[in-house]
Amino acid sequence: MSKILIVEDEEAIADLEKDYLELSGFVVETTSRGDVGLQEALKGDYDLVVLDLMLPGMDGFEVCRRIREQKDIPVIMVSAKKDDIDKIRGLGLGADDYMTKPFSPSELVARVKAHLARYERLVGAGTKSNDIIEIRGLKIDKTARRVYVDGVEKNFTTKEFDLLAFLAENPDHVFTKEELFRKIWNMDSVGDIATVTVHIKKIREKIEYNTSKPQYIETIWGVGYRFKI
Ligand code: CA
């Protein structure tokens, strides 16, 4: 649930805004002073601030500027004067939106929702989700380096994991044992390609229901292996 701070010294307006936002499911706190509002905005875990311009204690210009120094939550500035809104825009204080009083409470709710949605998208874009390959009951989490079969985690050694992930990333492609050995063991030598066979066997024991009829890693006789998608 999103939490909203209203900084507004006209009690009737603050109450109206609070009522409408609460009816829309938001948690709302109000304060009538600019300086108190700034403290609240900085220490509280608010998702958005509705900020009046003319306030006792500290004006909305200063409050907005100082919130911006520390937080990137959306700030909607409101003022009774159209001229003030133009001034705020000109100052580039970093407010996300401006509304001239009087405005309808439903207009405020709509803008609050739009800004929260936009902000959540921005924040969401910053956190990279795990790189996951999912095929039937098999789930390979490349970021966490974990493998699950039907939701149950299986323990993989580093090379087993690398080999499975490589094959799953390149499905429907036949790789020879030599190619897999070079790729996973990172050695340009002829090496012991039997290692690949051993690892494939171990992987199958962990992910296949029936190792004699593998549904994921197919053996292409005389050539190598292919991951079935
Ligand atoms: Ca005011």
- The CATH number covering residue 26 comes to 3.40.50.2300
Distance 155 CA to ligand 1 centre (A): 62
Q: Are residues 118 and 161 in the same domain?
A: no
Q: Please report which residue ranges of the chain form alpha helices under DSSP H.
A: 11-23, 34-43, 60-70, 82-91, 105-126, 158-169, 177-185, 194-207
Distance 105 CA to ligand 1 centre (A): 17
State the amino acid at position 106 in one-letter form: S
Range of the domain at 223: 132-227
Give buried/exposed letters for 107-121 (b at 16+ CB in 10 A, else e).
Answer: ebbebbbebbeebee
Q: What angle do CA 25, 111, 53 make, to 5 degrees?
A: 105
Q: Are residues 212 and 148 in the same domain?
A: yes
Q: Which of 124, 153, 180 is the last residue of a domain?
A: 124
Distance 78 CA to ligand 1 centre (A): 9
Q: Are residues 104 and 141 in the same domain?
A: no
Q: Which residues, by Cβ under 5 Å, contact ligand 1, an ion?
A: 9, 52, 54
Q: Are residues 112 and 142 in the same domain?
A: no
Q: Are residues 23 and 119 in the same domain?
A: yes
pTM here?
0.56
Tally of domains in the chain: 2
Q: Which of 124, 142, 170 is the last residue of a domain?
A: 124
Q: Are residues 166 and 223 in the same domain?
A: yes
Residues 212 and 210: their CA atoms lie apart, in Å, by 5
Tokens for 149? 């079969």
pLDDT tens for the chain, residues 1 to 229? 899 999 999 999 999 999 999 999 999 999 999 999 999 999 988 999 999 999 999 999 999 999 998 888 999 999 988 777 777 766 777 788 889 888 899 999 999 999 998 888 777 665 556 688 888 889 999 888 999 999 999 999 999 999 999 999 999 999 999 899 988 887 655 567 888 999 999 999 999 999 999 999 999 988 899 999 8
Q: Are residues 100 and 7 in the same domain?
A: yes
Taking the CA atoms of 181, 186, 192 and 197 in sequence, report the sign of the dihedral they define: negative
- The CATH number covering residue 190 comes to 1.10.10.10
Q: Which of 93, 124, 155 is the last residue of a domain?
A: 124
Residues 229 and 217: their CA atoms lie apart, in Å, by 9
